[in-house]
Structure 1
Amino acid sequence: MINIVRRINDFKISLQKRKEAKYSKEKSNRAQNGFTIMELMVTLAILSLLTVSMFSINLSGKGKITERAFNEECEKTLYTLLQYQNEAIMDGNYRQVRFLDNGMQISWTKDKVHHIVFIPANTFSYTGSYTKEIALNLYGHGTVSQGGTVNLVSPIGVTRKIIVQLGNGRIYLDEP
């Protein structure tokens, strides 16, 4: 009798092990097969909703994005001028800056080599004291050739000014 009970228990245990092995095999096959159609449909629906919402946000905030890009480029222009002013102070060679229709041109001579760098203006145009004919010179002792303003005019009509002070050579951007 005890023997029969043991055999029944052994049989139950082997059945349990077979069920566990079958379940783990099904689970591993599912992992190998990939995603179900339903999972893919839900994922595509979520992605399409996110795409549509991001696209509509960009359309509604277009003016703000343009204004932000304009302000960032104004600051980039200011920092570029300050960088070349600092380089002129460091190496003692003056830098000549010309404000053209589509960008800013900086030129200088160092060790008998003439350098020209062009920095395009993507979100504004230049007007003001300095033109193609009248250049801003950044001298090696930190001063400038003449004081004045550079107006940075955006396509949406916003204007920012870079102010250049004669005497101390201070260059700064007005507040928006």
Structure 2
Amino acid sequence: MKTFKKIKKPRPGRKLFKIFQKGYTLMELLVTLAIISLLTVTMATLSLGNQDRILESAFNAESRQILYTLLQYQNEAMMDGCRRQVRFQDKSMSILWTKDKVMHQVLVPVNNFSFSGAYTGTNALVLYPQGTVSMAGTVTLTSPSGEVRHITVQLGNGRIYLDEP
């Protein structure tokens, strides 16, 4: 009678466990920690650079919004024949007008800059129904990071425009 030897089949996971049983040297752990630290510092630096770009983008977008709002109310004054008064406060723009004996006011808040220059304080920009304005001037928009944009209003033709960054 023949006897058969039982052949042990290797288990697929045994090699994996042998690798972990050896462990890591102190040098391997230090190199790994150094690489992780370097990646962390790099990611933090890149995210700070992106945050500056995001704030700059928000400042530019809000500057354009203020310009488009001014142009919209200038156009509405020409369409309905009622003049608009525009005042720039520290963190908002106020538009006042009277139509059919009813006084209207719109307050446009801003988050990314403050106003200075013409039409702040007691001065007001008046947008007439003919498309002209009461006086020429420049409103300075200053972001918290120091970036500056200017909205310029021309007398005569009433052109209102934002300088290019």
TM-score normalized by the length of structure 1: 0.67
Which residue of structure 2 lines up, in the alignment, with residue 129 of structure 1?
118
5 Å matches for 1:19-168?
Answer: 58-168=47-157
* C-alpha displacement of 1:129: 1.3
Post-superposition CA distance 1:135-162 (Å, at most 9, x none) = 0000000000000001000000010000
- Distance in 2, matches of 1:130 and 1:151, equals 10
Does the residue aligned with 1:149 lie in a helix, a strand or coil?
A: strand
Q: Which runs of 5+ in 1 are unaligned?
A: 1-51
Overall identity of the aligned pairs, in %: 60
The one-letter code sitting in structure 1 at the alignment partner of 2:54 is I
Does the residue aligned with 2:122 lie in a helix, a strand or coil?
A: coil
Q: How many residues align?
A: 123
The structure with the larger Rg is: 1
- Distance in 2, matches of 1:61 and 1:68, equals 10
Which has a greater percent of helix?
1
- Distance in 2, matches of 1:60 and 1:84, equals 37
Q: Which runs of 5+ in 2 are unaligned?
A: 1-39
* C-alpha displacement of 1:132: 2.1
* C-alpha displacement of 1:131: 1.0
* C-alpha displacement of 1:58: 4.2
- Distance in 1, matches of 2:81 and 2:49, equals 50
Post-superposition CA distance 1:84-103 (Å, at most 9, x none) = 00000000000000000110
Post-superposition CA distance 1:56-88 (Å, at most 9, x none) = 554441111000000000000000000000000
- Distance in 2, matches of 1:107 and 1:81, equals 12
- Distance in 1, matches of 2:132 and 2:78, equals 9
RMSD over aligned CA atoms reads 1.4
- Distance in 2, matches of 1:116 and 1:58, equals 41
**Where do 4+ consecutive residues of structure 1 move more than 2 Å?**
55-60
TM-score normalized by the length of structure 2: 0.72
